[in-house]
Structure 1
Amino acid sequence: MSIANILLLILAGVPTYWTTMLVQAIADFFKYKIINTVIVLSCWSSNDRVKFMRQLSDHGLIATISCDPTILDYVQNHHFQGILYVKQVNDSLLEKVNPVYFSNWYKWLVISDEAPSSLHATRYDADVVLIESSKRIMARATGNNEIMSTAAIKQTIYFNDVYVHPRNGASLNPWAVWTGTLEVTHERERILRRLDLKKYPLRIATPVGHYSEDTYNGTFEEYLADNTMPERDSATRCGHAASSLILESLKATEVLTPTLLWATELNNSSMMLRVASGTAEISGSILRVLPERIKRLDYVMPIWPFSVGFTYLAERASSSNMFVEPFSPGVWWTCLAIAVLLSFAQRLTAREPMEKEGAYIAVLATWLQQDASAVPEGASGRWTFIVLSVCSMLVHAYYTSAIVSALMSTGRSGPDSLKALGDSKYAIASEDYDYMRYTMFGMETNWDDLEYLKKKKMHSNFYQNIERGVELIREGNTAFHTEYNHIYPHLRTFNDEHLCKLAYVDTIPEIMTWITTTKRCQWTDVLRTAGGWLNEVGLVKRLVSRWRIRPPPCRASLLAERVKFGDVAPVLCLTAIGAIASLILLGLEIIFAKWTGSKYRNSPVSDVADVASGDENINK
């Protein structure tokens, strides 16, 4: 029996097994999709609508039946909506539906003997399921040489996933069966099918930044992949590489679309406008989450690239009575373990009872750089004491040098906020990036401290190239604004005195930024899935670390940072080896003592000595 005939029985109110089974299957499908309100698109009479609504109501579904597809315009956004479409003869309702209503927010169930032709032009993220007719089931079983009884076919309803590819159109694939209850058998295949775009081209809108054919011998695509200059447009390169990884994981073809600008809306050749308008599917650089962007963009993958702020030379100021923690907890616990090991070795290598009793105190006293008189007499004991003394001296050397260097290098004077920078003696300048010009310094913002700084310090020659900005920093009277990743390589030309005076005031700290796509576009879900997978496996973190540049170190303050376990691990390993060597030496010493003792007892001289000692005892 065809699906159309079954529906006629439903509308006629004939209580057959087929009608009950189909309505139950429809209800189970929408419950699986977590739907309780259904819009039915079909041109039935009022009586037929009431009968069918009553049938669905008996299974806990609230139904609205309409012959006008514009009813979908009144559906509340950001809620899943079930849609049941019943195909009828000469029916063109599906062709009148706005394509936006085929997104994954709308769960479609199509009842038809075959897939409607209009489904071939729907969105990629369409969530459409088609109930397969009994004729198609029998034909498929015959073609596959399957043995299926007519009774089994009548008691089973097959649900097919409608997969729509922009180039290949719609295709039907098994998804679930209903035999009294809904059993989803191919959900994983359905998900994986949508994560393979089959080389479909997707456009990446990427700002050109500082790229120019006059300054770089190569194409823009080669410039983005060139890792020999990580200080140039690092955020754009990192963002483009992340977008490329997303498309590669989806097996899509990348189409590079250069744009003149980044995030401004003053020019049509802007990355943000290209993505927001849908003329590019994904951004090739990063964007922050801003209220005005949320309505126009979808954020598909988070990425933490690089900080932005002012760099300047500060003046040192004396500081005293500072609390410094030069060792991390891991180092302290390791020192405790080494002390226990050395105490155990000192106890074992001691010969005299007094040495054994004073072994633990000797270790503690030596560790605290105090005098210890309980030094064992044997070679192994003395070796253990040497290892202990060297280890304690190294620990004290690390500790005291860390404290002294920290006290000498901290306490720099200089502004530490934008408001303090506005009240300071420093002039300000900035690298000329369009997002700095058009979202920070060239327009009014709601950031009070930034507006205060702009009001007091902005001047006509505010925008400078990075080479000039580095020279201004070197002169000591200007705070230059740029990405830290851009300026770090240039700061390597500073001498150690200048490096130790460098200070920073953040405007954009190392916060979460995003790769974006068009708002509620057909690619949002698959892009988010791929982006989440890249973060889970650590490829995004590795990508950022590849482009990240460390600041040039100040040699005078290297030990001012807390000493980590890795810094002292070689020394601690050598100490442990020394303690183990003392135990080995103790074993050799014991073996040697036993060997010499047995040799002495077996010699004639030993017998004479024993007789003489016996005579002496008799005389006594």
Structure 2
Amino acid sequence: MLESVHNFHYNVTLAKAWYGTSINGTEAGVANLIHEHRVDIGAGGILRHGDSERISFYDYLMPTFPFRTCFIFKNPGSVKPGVEVLRPFSTSTWYSTCAAAFVMCSAIKMAYWIEYRFLRARINYRSSLFPHRLGGRFIYFTLLILSTLLYNYYSSSLVSSLLNSKPWTPTNLKELYETKLRLGSEDQPYTTLFITQERNNTWVQQINSTRFYEKDQANFMEPKEGVALVKNGGFAYHSEVKTVYPLIAMTFDVDSICDLVEINFVTPGVIGLMAQKNSQYTKLFLIR
């Protein structure tokens, strides 16, 4: 964003800390680089550590702005019909239904057996074995009523479940890693620094070592190219949200935007700028 405002490029230097441990913090981190005039402007979560004792050593520039990066992609998940078919009834209801069906079938079988054995002389050889006694008719009538109620409730619940169900969606880095999506990223210093700092995060390191690379080359690309691949599907692109969403708004239709999913990567925070005291760049970097 700042590059587009000022229309020039920056030479980026990475530091692993904001300040040193002293009051002014000048012996380490971004503060040390600024204090020794090796950099002109520092950016990051430095304002969280901007104690009153340090104001006399640095210029803190306002306002701050939120910082968040994410993998953004079209949802590769789908509704599983097999699960949805069973969902209208609970497990106990399914067992009860099966038990009731077994009892009904046994009762019908018994009614047929009784009528056939004791009344076979009255039944024509070519006629169908339909129960004529009150007991058999009552069993059939009860079965008809229960089946109708069960069918109506089941069909309406199934339709409602299918209409309201949401497809499975990856929600974290582990699930993203386990998908078949190709991964790519904007080439930014904060991405490299975050991966370096998260050495103990298994899934960050797995993604970095196996999914960020194609043919032994890092899959870095410009936002326009990354967003175009996301639009085609099967691809997850990592960048700052303020960079990708304007491109998405210009190139995606409404339905495609609704299909997008995002998973945070670099820890979200609030970004501020810090400059050398009385720096010539202070007014230049004040964004209003």
- For normalisation by structure 2, the TM-score amounts to 0.49
Greater C-alpha radius of gyration: 1
> Of the two structures, which has the highest relative contact order with CA contacts closer than 8 Å and spacing of 6 or more?
2
